[in-house]
Amino acid sequence: MSRLDIYKSCTLCPRRCGIDRTAKKGFCGADSTLRIARYSRHYWEEPPISGENGSGTVFFCSCSLKCVFCQNFVISHGQTGYEITTDELAEVFLQLQQKGANNINLVTPTHYLPHILDALDIVKNDLTIPVVYNCGGYESVETIEMLKGYVDIFLPDMKYFDRSLSYEYSRAADYFDTALKAVKKMVDIVGSPVFDDKGLLKSGVIVRHLVLPNERHDSINVIKALGENFNSDEILLSLMSQFTPTEQCKDIEKLSRRTTTFEYESVMKVVEELGFSGYFQQRTSAKSEYIPEFFNNKKVTN
């Protein structure tokens, strides 16, 4: 049996559509044809991921979460992107390594996992840099289990605590409980953070949280829940502030402005009180120009 047979009755993410993706698209918008929208070195991830040489990002098209405020809307909801084969994806990994990328950073990869694992098998004897799994946190434990031996660093979001909020923005009322179980599995697989002598992350979990406008209380609940479920040395925390109102959320009153300094710092204070190590973002980086350009055909960037 080929791994690609998983697409014939897809339960890769917690939506568990169970549909045949060789015949139609799932909730995520993906069928069984592998599509990406960009690969390049990326310099705006957390410092131990990007370092000086950049992180070797591969942006996959479609998304099983589809947040209304998504900053990469054109690829998560839209049609931007192009088809590639498993062999070409394997070649992309090696090209990024050759250009000096610190790691291979798989961005929103879950719905294409069968292709990605096949590509990683092809390069297993040549790829020497860590593999980063950069996802929205809404993952099933069974799928995360499949990553054992393939992924060194997990970079999940923990977006919401409140069920009605996660339903309102991502149509996933079970977001928090599901993401918490997934992050626990990630910590089980890769353990506490380990750095190399240049300060780059070799393995571990960085949990990201984006502080949304008007939702600081929910953000504080997320951070407190992480404090109740993880020791401060088990995970790193990355508190992000770069929410930018996109065209798609202009009619949602609560999302029509940026996060304020007060909102961001209220959450930061709780992170510090709980003793988590991590990364805080300068609010000046909350600009739409940090959203990368995506492509409809193969384009070599850097």
Q: Between 12 and 236, whose beta carbon lies closer to ligand SF4? A: 12
Q: Between 15 and 185, whose beta carbon lies closer to ligand SF4? A: 15
108 lies in the binding site for ligand SF4 (CB under 6 A): no
Q: Between 138 and 243, whose beta carbon lies closer to ligand SF4? A: 138
What is the C-alpha to C-alpha distance for residues 20 and 9, in angstroms, rounded to an integer? Answer: 5
Among 13, 84, 119, 271, binds ligand SF4 (CB under 6 A): 13
27 lies in the binding site for ligand SF4 (CB under 6 A): yes
Which segment (16-24, 126-134, 181-189, 269-277) binds ligand SF4 by CB under 6 A? 16-24
Q: Going residue by residue from 50 to 69, which x/- string records binding to ligand SF4, judged by CB under 6 A? A: --------------x-----
Which segment (7-15, 78-86, 262-270, 272-280) binds ligand SF4 by CB under 6 A? 7-15
Q: Between 25 and 163, whose beta carbon lies closer to ligand SF4? A: 25
List the interface residues with ligand SF4, window 199-258 (CB under 6 A): none
Which segment (8-16, 124-132, 193-201, 227-235) binds ligand SF4 by CB under 6 A? 8-16
Pairing of strands 236-240, 201-210: parallel
Q: Between 14 and 278, whose beta carbon lies closer to ligand SF4? A: 14
111 lies in the binding site for ligand SF4 (CB under 6 A): yes
Closest CB 141 distance from ligand SF4, rounded Å: 14
106 lies in the binding site for ligand SF4 (CB under 6 A): no
Q: Between 118 and 265, whose beta carbon lies closer to ligand SF4? A: 118
Per-residue HEC secondary structure of the chain comes to CCHHHHHHHCCCCCCCCCCCCCCCCCCCCCCCCCEEEEEEEECCCCHHHHCCCCEEEEEECCCCCCCCCCCCHHHHCCCCCEECCHHHHHHHHHHHHHCCCCCEEEECCHHHHHHHHHHHHHCCCCCCCCEEEEECCCCCHHHHHCCCCCCCEEEEECCCCCHHHHHHHHCCCCHHHHHHHHHHHHHHHHCCCEECCCCCEEEEEEEEEECCCCCHHHHHHHHHHHHHHCCCCCCEEEEECCCCCCHHHCCCHHHCCCCCHHHHHHHHHHHHHHCCCEEECCHHHCCHHHCCCCCCCCCCCC
16 lies in the binding site for ligand SF4 (CB under 6 A): yes
Site size toward ligand SF4, by CB under 6 A: 15
Q: How far is CA 156 from CA 115, 121, 250, in A?
A: 20, 23, 26
Q: Enumerate binding residues for ligand SF4 (CB under 6 A).
A: 10-13, 15-17, 19, 21, 26-28, 30, 64, 111
